[in-house]
Amino acid sequence: MYSKRVTKSARSRTNLSKHSSMGTLHVVGAVALATTLGLAPLPAANAASAPVLGEAEVTAQTNPDSESIELSERANRKISGKLPNGDNFKLPPVGQAPFPTSANSPGLPGSQAASNVVEPAPPYVPQTSCDPGEKKGIKAFKALVMSTYPAGRDWGSSRNCTDDGTSEHLEGRAWDWNVDVNNPTQFTQAGQLLGWLTADGGANAKRLGIMYIGYNYRIWGAYRASEGWRALSNSNPHTDHVHFSFTWNGARKKTSFWTGKVKSNDYGPCRIYQGQPAPLRAGKNSSPCPPAAQLPNAWGSAGLLWRGSTGSLVATAQSKLGATQSGTFDASTAKAAAAFQHRAGIPATGAVDAATWFALGMGEPVSKVKRSLKKGKRGKDVKRLQRALRMNKKKRDGRYRKSTVRAVKSWKRANGLRPNGRASKSFQRSLGL
């Protein structure tokens, strides 16, 4: 998936418009499983897929031994950075900081956390939804960094969902800070901040809700802090900018640095189907996400339109959604899609996903749904519903009783829908029936 050849880092793009992709349509199919596991990006038609840090970190989590040996060997021999005195900076071995360290780093001011208050190591929670608006914790962190270390530049947080594979940029909980290793002042200030963040097992990074950091051929994760700066298995070495990815608590400014209190983990929205975006965040999720279900065969012909998609299919969807027919899937189109999904009883992803594709009449699914179901009904269609809801096998008896009512309510509640116990035709079809 990733090139093992170390390439010169391309200049990062500074705003969302510069990230627009030529890709207009994502077709769900054979790559769905790999995409959900973070092993491949969603395919964008006619668009080059640039490697992103989120994908590399997913790969490292799925297979910790997958980091590129060739990349780390080259990096160990590489001169990567310029110091204020004119000397070159030689990249140290894996595990050590890939920047000049300083004992006099000022750090970031304004922490509300007492010296003995620090979050435990967070879990790795990759991006699942398409919600690229910059979150308030990112805005606040960025403002502090830019005022304390003014040599660097803001390279943005939000990205179109067509631009990257798995990346926290797509949920507005990542930020790129332009500090080039070949600019001595920027490199020095980057080292001061990163040294302060990762000292003492990453205590300050944890207080801010920073999940991982990528810079100068290396990656540091708060969940693997004892390993230090690991080799970055990504063909973009991140020598011209630091990438910060945040936990959901960090992105929402709900960490001890800002509040003085430690919150329990927020695992974010969960995908329902492989290769499909998760519903937009509706509230805190205190439990790890279960594996997503395989996309139903009946939906195999559906497309996927979301932030950044362009073309005639987008214009058609906008017409059906009552949105301005610009042919570009922008924030207003996402808002219209979410509103339609709420009305239709479909999980609100803010994208024209497979369920929405068919609900809008943009195609015809192969469906066996013939009637609405409620308590008291029985038959093979009830049993199919029970199977789709993943009910206990002993309860899949084809009878719509209290256990089925509870399962329907639970599914709707978990996906931000009104939790009644009826299974309308559209609800059944949203399950791929």
How far is Cα of residue 288 from the mean position of the Cα atoms in its chain?
15
Residues 384 and 351 in one domain: no
Residues 311 and 358 in one domain: yes
pTM for the structure as a whole: 0.74
Residues 348 and 208 in one domain: no
Residues 218 and 103 in one domain: yes
Is residue 133 one of the residues assigned to a domain? Answer: yes
Is residue 266 one of the residues assigned to a domain? Answer: no
Residue 195 pLDDT class (50, 70, 90 cuts): very high
Q: Is 2 a residue whose pLDDT tops 90?
A: no
In whole numbers, what is the pLDDT of the chain averaged over residues? 83
Q: Which residue has the higher pLDDT, 43 or 121?
A: 121
Is residue 274 one of the residues assigned to a domain? Answer: no
- Pick from 242, 259, 276: which residue ends a domain? 259
What's the confidence (pLDDT) of residue 130?
96
Number of domains in the chain: 3
- Please enumerate in sequence order all residues whose Cβ is within 8 A of that of 99, keeping only pairs 6 or more positions apart, or say none: 81, 89, 181, 187, 190, 191, 194, 195, 215, 216
- Asked whether the beta carbons of 114 and 101 are under 8 A apart, the reply is no
pLDDT in tens, 9-64: 333 333 333 333 333 333 333 233 233 222 223 223 322 233 456 644 544 554 33
**Residue 203: which domain range?**
16-259
DSSP result, 201-255: HHHHHHHHTEEEEEETTEEEEGGGGGG-BEE--SSS---S-EEEEE-HHHHTT-S
- With a pLDDT cut of 70, the percent of the chain lying above it is 81
What's the confidence (pLDDT) of residue 54?
63
Residues 218 and 247 in one domain: yes
Q: Is 354 a residue whose pLDDT tops 60?
A: yes
Distance between CA 379 and CA 399 in Å, rounded? 7
